[in-house]
């Protein structure tokens, strides 16, 4: 599991960073997220510039989520029974190749040698392949993370892990938006999309090197039954645990209906009129709110009453979405995006800690796969829902509707989980998973 001789008290804010493999994992998480967020930001803007279609934006999320959900359970099963470092090396090599392909294709598009519809087909195909990679990446990375530190410092590790993700999510979109808008002025003839993919490929390569520096993580279980029974065991574990199930469902529906990321290019070009630079700032400021909140949570944990605080955070997220949809002033929109990121970061920390504490070691891959189906893929489903809702309702009504649905989901969850409101982190840590039901 974690390195021997490094046990640290829970009050040590840097406890998780004292473990070598966790530091390598943190580096992978930062550089990969930086590159991924850049790629997501510029592809959405690039495709909307080419087509001015919210449906084409919606297809970005759908292209990735279909394989990510479709083979997620198998990805978790394979992660449990395989050596994780080797799996991650193959995954990152594939993602790197995908980014190189998209960079080459978009470069040729600006030279006029490839028609627009072939550009779109290639981009969607590469995003689909990234979805396949993600089905295996999520469970493998979850196991590496879980075994790189002792259980008693999971809350501290979760805060650092989420902070690294959020910091990369600040710098990635901001760098992507600024490069897209200003690269031609820095180097005449250099296009924004080409400059972005040069950085994306570099950071993907760094992530691959950091994965290589991890130690080997052997299988956590040897199947004694057929694959279908093994997969159903993960599903049964999640669906019979009330706290875990409701935590995943909260995230699924709030992000599915309340997410606005996919529509930010529309706001940047058609509503707020701030261009690619403004898009980068909007993507950045949400993550900035999350990162600053997470840095605060290193010292002031939200885990004193985790379930109560989770509901408050998701409600704040929904209110922020409604406020953003109503705003037509760039500065006010940024404030609501900042608050959205801040509230979301609190819920991320709480959900991540609950999952780590309630999941047995031998089931981490499969439970992570179920989590991926609920949470990780809800972002892409949310992008698809946002794009289609904007087509039929209009962009602003679609955002306001999504925020209201999120508030409705929080209200429903509150009335069905009131017995869990007084639970402390210690109650969850000491209880057997099947007994933490309220």
For residue range 174-185, list pLDDT tens digits in order.
Answer: 888 888 877 766
Tokens of 114: 């490839």
pTM of the model: 0.66
pLDDT of residue 436 exceeding 60, the answer is no
Residue 157 lies in a domain: yes
Q: Is the Cβ–Cβ distance between 143 and 79 less than 8 Å?
A: yes
Residue 250 lies in a domain: yes
Q: Is the Cβ–Cβ distance between 305 and 438 less than 8 Å?
A: no
For residues 286 and 229, the model is more confident at 286
pLDDT of residue 90 exceeding 60, the answer is yes
For 361, other C-beta atoms within 10 Å of its C-beta total 13
Residue 172 lies in a domain: yes
Residue 10 lies in a domain: no
Tokens of 356: 């780590």
Q: Is the Cβ–Cβ distance between 58 and 167 less than 8 Å?
A: no
Residue 9 lies in a domain: no
For residues 397 and 249, the model is more confident at 397
Tokens of 342: 């801040």
Residue 7 lies in a domain: no
pLDDT of residue 432 exceeding 50, the answer is no
Which residue in 357, 297, 22 sits closest to 157, CA to CA?
Answer: 22
Which residue in 42, 47, 78, 24 sits closest to 365, CA to CA?
Answer: 78
Question: How far apart are alpha carbons 143 and 306 in whole angstroms?
Answer: 23
Residue 432 backbone zone (phi > 0: left; psi -120 to 50: alpha; other: beta): beta
For 112, other C-beta atoms within 10 Å of its C-beta total 7
Residue 431 backbone zone (phi > 0: left; psi -120 to 50: alpha; other: beta): beta
Tokens of 121: 């087909």
∠ CA 421-289-264 to the nearest 5 degrees? 110
What sign results for the dihedral spanned by CA atoms 13, 18, 19, 25? positive
Tokens of 279: 């898009």
Question: How far apart are alpha carbons 310 and 44 in whole angstroms?
Answer: 30
Query: Domain holding 197: CATH number?
Result: 1.20.1250.20
Question: How far apart are alpha carbons 301 and 124 in whole angstroms?
Answer: 40
User: Which helix H or strand E contains 310, and what residues bound it?
Assistant: helix 306-326
Q: Is the Cβ–Cβ distance between 186 and 7 less than 8 Å?
A: no
Question: How far apart are alpha carbons 411 and 318 in whole angstroms?
Answer: 11
pLDDT of residue 334 exceeding 80, the answer is yes
Give 115's DSSP letter: -
The pLDDT tens digits of the residues spanning 264-276 come to: 888 888 888 888 7
Question: How far apart are alpha carbons 127 and 61 in whole angstroms?
Answer: 8
Question: How far apart are alpha carbons 317 and 293 in whole angstroms?
Answer: 13
Domains held by the chain: number:
1
Question: How far apart are alpha carbons 354 and 306 in whole angstroms?
Answer: 9
Residue 8 lies in a domain: no
pLDDT of residue 416 exceeding 60, the answer is yes
- Domain of 309, in residue numbers: 16-435
Residue 11 lies in a domain: no
The pLDDT tens digits of the residues spanning 194-249 come to: 888 999 999 999 999 999 998 888 886 666 666 666 667 767 777 777 787 788 77
∠ CA 28-248-343 to the nearest 5 degrees? 70
The pLDDT tens digits of the residues spanning 17-71 come to: 888 889 999 999 999 999 998 998 888 888 888 888 878 887 887 888 788 777 8
State the average pLDDT over residues 391-395: 83
């Amino acid at each position: 599991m974690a390195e021997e001789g490094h046990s640290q008290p829970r009050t040590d804010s840097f406890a998780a960073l004292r473990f070598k493999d966790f530091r390598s994992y943190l580096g992978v998480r930062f550089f990969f997220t930086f590159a991924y967020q850049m790629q997501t930001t510029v592809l959405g803007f690039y495709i909307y510039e080419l087509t001015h279609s919210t449906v084409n934006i919606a297809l970005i999320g759908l292209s990735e989520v279909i394989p990510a959900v479709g083979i997620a359970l198998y990805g978790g099963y394979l992660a449990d029974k395989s050596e994780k470092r080797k799996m991650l090396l193959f995954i990152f090599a594939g993602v790197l190749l995908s980014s190189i392909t998209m960079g080459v294709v978009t470069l040729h598009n600006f030279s006029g040698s490839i028609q627009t519809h072939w550009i779109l087909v290639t981009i969607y195909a590469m995003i689909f392949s990234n979805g396949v990679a993600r089905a295996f990446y999520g469970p493998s990375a979850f196991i590496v993370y879980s075994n790189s530190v002792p259980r008693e410092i999971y809350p501290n590790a979760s805060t650092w892990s989420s902070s690294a993700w959020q910091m990369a999510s600040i710098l990635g979109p901001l760098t992507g938006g600024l490069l897209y808008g200003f690269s031609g002025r820095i180097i005449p003839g250099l296009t924004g999309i080409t400059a972005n993919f040069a950085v994306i490929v570099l950071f993907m390569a760094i992530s691959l090197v950091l994965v290589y520096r991890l130690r080997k993580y052997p299988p956590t279980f040897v199947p004694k039954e057929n694959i279908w029974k093994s997969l159903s065991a993960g599903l049964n574990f999640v669906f019979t645990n009330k706290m875990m199930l409701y935590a995943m469902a909260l995230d699924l529906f709030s992000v599915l209906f309340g997410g606005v990321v996919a529509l930010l290019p529309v706001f940047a070009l058609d509503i707020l009129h701030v261009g690619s630079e403004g898009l980068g700032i909007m993507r950045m400021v949400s993550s900035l709110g999350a990162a600053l909140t997470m840095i605060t949570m290193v010292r002031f944990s939200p885990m004193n009453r985790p379930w109560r605080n989770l509901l408050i955070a998701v409600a704040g997220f929904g209110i922020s979405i409604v406020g953003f949809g109503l705003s037509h002033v760039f500065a006010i929109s940024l404030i609501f995006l900042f608050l959205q990121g801040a509230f979301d970061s609190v819920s991320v920390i709480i959900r991540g800690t609950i999952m780590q504490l309630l999941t047995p070691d031998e089931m981490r891959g499969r439970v992570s796969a179920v989590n991926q189906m609920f949470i990780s893929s809800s972002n892409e489903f949310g992008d698809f829902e946002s794009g289609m809702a904007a087509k039929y309702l209009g962009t602003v009504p679609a955002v306001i509707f999504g925020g209201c649905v999120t508030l409705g989901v929080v209200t429903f969850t509150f009335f069905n989980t009131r017995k869990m409101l007084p639970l402390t982190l210690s109650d969850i840590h000491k209880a057997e998973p099947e007994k933490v039901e309220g």
